Each structure stands twice: as C-alpha cells, then as structure tokens.
Amino acid sequence: MDPTFPVPSAQTTQAAVDAAAPTASAPLDPTKIIGTMFSADLGFAILKGFFAFLVCIVAVRLAVFLLKRIFRKTISLRTAMIAEKAVAYGGFVMACLIAFDIAGINVTALLGAAGIAGIAVGFAAQTSFANVISGLFLLSEKAFSSGDVIEVGEVVGVVESIDVLSVKVRTFDNRLVRIPNENLIKSNLINITRYPIRRMNFEFTITRDSDIEIARIALLEVADANPFVLKNPEPFFMLTGITPEGVGVFFGTWFRQERFIEVRNGMYMDMVKAFRERGIRFAFRTITIDPATGAGGAKTKTRTVR
C-alpha cells in the first residue's frame, strides 16, 4: 500500500454515507404551491382578459341590434336572420381571441391546436358542414322566408325560424318540425304562400247520363256567387276524360291565398247543393263479388249516388 494515499477514517466514511442517504422531506405547503402557480400578475392579466371579453360581448350585442334594425328595412327577413347570426358568431370568436391576447395567452398555439382538432372534428361533422353549405344555397335562391307556408314531403306548416343548420316549421296542428337544410336542397320544396293569388282545383267524376253542359253552368254559377272567388282571372272548366266510372271534370277558381278556408268550404258545399238540385250525379267505384265465382270472380261496376 502506498503510504502517500490517504485512507479514509471511519468517521469520514459515516459522514459520506449520511450525506448520500435521502433526508425526510418537509411537509408540503399548499399556499406555497398555489403561489408558485398563480402570481399576482397572472391574476391581474386574467381579470383584464375577462373584462375585455365582457366589453366585446356587449359591443357585439349592440352591433347585432343595430344591424337588425337596418337589415330588416332593406333586405329580406331570411337574409337578415342569417346575417345577424353570422355577425353574432363571428363577434363571439373575435371576443375570445381579444380576451386571450390581453390575458397573455398564446393565441397562436391555441389556433394550431384548434386546427388539428378541427380536422378530426371535420370528419365527424360532415353532415353539419353539409347543412351549412346547403343553407348558403337556400339563402342565394330566396325560395322562402319566415312566415311563409311551405310543403316539404309530408310536412306542411309555417316557417318559424331559419337557422344555419336547419329550418324550423310549425305545422297547423301546432307541432314544431326541424328540417335540416340538406334535406331542403335534396327535396321538392313548395312555397304555398309565395304568390298572393292562387287557384283552387276541384277534380271529380260525374255519371255518363248527367248533362255536362248543365254541370258546367252550375259550377260557373257557384263560383260567381262566392264572394271570395275572383272574377279575374276567370274560373276554368275542363273535361279530363271518360273513364269506366263516368266523365272526369276539372274546375279551377282563383282566390287570394288568405281566403283559402272560405273558398274551399263554400265551393264544396255549394257545388253539392247545385248538383243535387239539377240532377247531376257523382260517380263512385264499387266492387261486387259474385258468390258463384268466389274471390277470383270479382268485377267492377259503377254506382251512382244522388
């Protein structure tokens, strides 16, 4: 052993072991942890951002209110509603960005994260995007507006609201129906109240032995006596053909669309009364089963009802 090499003593070795051994940690102080996470400057920045957000929201609401008064005097109600919603949604996004910037939050990082999340959400929300795009097409076409009566498939009712994703319709039995904008683009949409004047069509069949000329004169007299049927354009009479049941008749009368109920009820009641007085009979199809032949021997005959 080299006499020049120092040999550690027992006390030195024990001191080194004690230094290497872990010491018992002091109990955690929650106030110190919170203090390190939230400083006074950070709290003040968040408070400023919150107040900035409130101010921006108030400004957006004021802008929407002013635009509502301006738009509804210059453009259609449908276009005004879409524009108001666009301003409201866009203003909310801008308010959030301004508040984040004042609070010292890195907006660029948030936008990057939002872009990545937007790609994932986009695949899951293709239907919603399709409804938004369809709403823009409906806006450009101007096929209807709030308050119009429309028919889409089996749904008939008054347009209550026109939203970004859908159109809400109130049916005449007081039910609310939500129709996605994409369905409106793909379906045949009928605007029943678009034009102030409409024609009400009556189609029926009279027996072959009925006098067609008398039937035509009776229909014209009924239309002339109805105060809600317009004289111009004149009522329209036409024979639609001869069927096994009788002679098909088409009769149309023009009226103002707000008088739909009066014209429909009045014309039907007066037509039945006039035909009964003049001996004009409606034809109906009935099925008669021959007992001798059974079900396979069914045959059709015409039954007239006075």
* Cβ atoms 150, 159 nearer than 8 A: yes
Report pLDDT digits (tens) over 208-242.
889 999 999 999 999 999 999 999 999 999 999 98
Per residue in 54-82, is it b (16+ CB within 10 Å) or e — as a string? eebbeebeeebeebeeebeeeeeebbbbb
d(C-alpha 300, C-alpha 306), whole Å:
19
Domains of the chain: 40-124 (1.10.287), 141-191 (2.30.30.60), 197-287 (3.30.70.100)
196-217: average pLDDT: 93
Burial bucket for residue 41 (CB in 10 Å: 0-12, 13-18, 19+): exposed
Q: What is the pTM of this model?
A: 0.55
The pLDDT of residue 128 is: 67
Sign of the torsion formed by the C-alpha atoms of 40, 46, 48 and 50: negative
Which two three-digit tokens encode residue 217? 């004169």
The DSSP code sequence of 136-205 is: HHHHHHT---TT-EEEETTEEEEEEEE-SSEEEEEETTS-EEEEEHHHHHHS-EEETTSSSEEEEEEEEE
Does 104 have pLDDT greater than 60?
yes
